[in-house]
Structure 1
């Protein structure tokens, strides 16, 4: 066939973005190169696929017919890469990814060593920022993909769960709530809270689950908002309040007995960490291999 997957990918991205220039930015190509590939595809089919205007391009009837086939071809390539990634052990390259604070500070550092032993020629550069910032940088093409603490719903993004986690209520040593094995929800309103900042995935999950259990976040005594999990733990240890954090970030303090860890009665803070990337983006095979490693391995041996 004269046309190829690359041209279908370009066609799909132009259709999704509604613009040759925006598609060129997303694909890291020049606009003339995008135009040339679309013209080549139109020449092959013998029909126009887009109606060009000064503001936006629109699909012709032929373009609308082709669109679902292009989408299926992209999905098929993604599935192929995932299936084949487990056999590729001599990959080389550098991964640039964004990780939200809990993932970047407490989860991935324990996994990068085992991954590096299996794929020694792949190096990883990780930017640790909060979920809101990762979302913005992925959308602006500053990050290829990100790992975040809460599910993200955005029409331009592909989101998939790759890791499991659970949040726990943490208390200072000898705190009154420590008398409960499972702390009643109503008791939470009686004590000051130290929380992660707005935009944090941990904060979002905590708020959603408490409100689902009938505890309005506005009824909590929030005395402090801090920009990192470590800062929150230190504040709780100092007796400034209680908080809700990922259990994966609490192993050291719980083992030393400087913090108490409790469940909240009738509330499940179970969650998944999600990989997010642009729906029109095909990840490099090294990135697919890394995500497959997270999805399919028994990570408990390292966490």
Structure 2
């Protein structure tokens, strides 16, 4: 096994956050996945790096020795990416990337214009598909990298956060909640919902947040499950129900007064979008340039 950036990033986050659970939340990974990567790092060095106590994680002497090197390594990688991305303006390149539905249909189209103006020599071929298809094409070297709505656990891939999004409550014009601005969670669950299918990134984030708030997602009156954000929007617009999706996907309908974006009191559905690529392959400079551009130009809805 070779030492890699991903494992150092996880170790550093665990050490800084003081617990596996807090690190898992910050990295948008499962706690077992974080534990597995730490164990692999300990196997690599042949030394215990962390010791669990009753309330937090403590560093062993080996862990204390590794921590400043991990910090320096992460900083050096970021500086290297930024420094080398400047040369992309002098290069011609073609990026082949995949993006999951919400990212590919509603987020990236608004980012590609400014990117193309800044880096006209770089052309982009974008495929919009589900996460499973993106993983398959990356592994088969048909795509340079992918952008997905949840971290991917795959032995051959690196998954890194790129940009943040936040889901919101969406209601049709004329709905009883319309015009309220902010509503309580109890008000919300008294109305029927139209949702993305189970297993989608959007549905997963919504259910995780409800669980954290002590609300069983089964209490939601799910009147319809649909396989695309576009279909969900159409159903909500027709008055079938309300939903929770990315506001980036309803900008047009909001402007026309067909749909309204509301806040749920004391509830935030924040999530990260992730880049995934092969561990065994260095990303080409145009790809690093594009990812750096996404990180440095926060997406706003």
Query: What's the TM-score once normalised by structure 2's chain length?
Result: 0.70
What 5-or-longer segments of structure 1 have no aligned partner? Answer: 1-10, 14-63
Other-structure match for 2:116: 116
Other-structure match for 2:86: 86
Distance 1:154 1:248, change over 3 A: same
Contact 1:132 1:200 (8 Å CA) reproduced:
no
2:228 maps to 1:232:
no
Contact 2:144 2:287 (8 Å CA) reproduced:
no
2:274 maps to 1:280:
no
Specify the structure having the higher radius of gyration (Cα). Answer: 1
Structure 1 residue 211: Cα displacement: 1.5
Other-structure match for 1:128: 128
Contact 1:206 1:244 (8 Å CA) reproduced:
yes
Contact 2:164 2:298 (8 Å CA) reproduced:
no
Cα distance in structure 2, aligned partners of 1:147 and 1:106: 13
What SS does the aligned partner of 1:106 have?
helix
Contact 1:99 1:148 (8 Å CA) reproduced:
yes
Distance 1:223 1:133, change over 3 A: farther
Other-structure match for 2:268: 268
Number of aligned positions between the proteins: 240
What SS does the aligned partner of 2:138 have?
helix
Contact 2:99 2:127 (8 Å CA) reproduced:
yes
Structure 1 residue 77: Cα displacement: 6.9
Contact 1:96 1:126 (8 Å CA) reproduced:
yes
Cα distance in structure 2, aligned partners of 1:288 and 1:191: 44
> Could you tell which deviates more after superposition, 121-130 or 84-93?
84-93
Distance 1:187 1:142, change over 3 A: farther
Structure 1 residue 161: Cα displacement: 1.9
What SS does the aligned partner of 2:286 have?
helix
What 5-or-longer segments of structure 2 have no aligned partner? Answer: 4-43, 46-65
Cα distance in structure 1, aligned partners of 2:130 and 2:191: 26
Query: What's the TM-score once normalised by structure 1's chain length?
Result: 0.70
What SS does the aligned partner of 2:103 have?
helix
What SS does the aligned partner of 1:274 have?
strand
What SS does the aligned partner of 2:177 have?
helix
- Per-residue deviation, residues 255-301 of structure 1 (Å, max 9, x unmatched): 2111121111221012221111122221111101110111113555x
2:104 maps to 1:104:
yes
Contact 1:130 1:199 (8 Å CA) reproduced:
no
Contact 1:213 1:266 (8 Å CA) reproduced:
no
Supply the RMSD in Å over aligned alpha carbons: 3.1
Structure 1 residue 142: Cα displacement: 4.0
Distance 1:88 1:123, change over 3 A: closer
Other-structure match for 1:165: 165
Structure 1 residue 234: Cα displacement: 0.7
Other-structure match for 2:186: 186
Contact 1:156 1:278 (8 Å CA) reproduced:
yes
Structure 1 residue 230: Cα displacement: 1.4
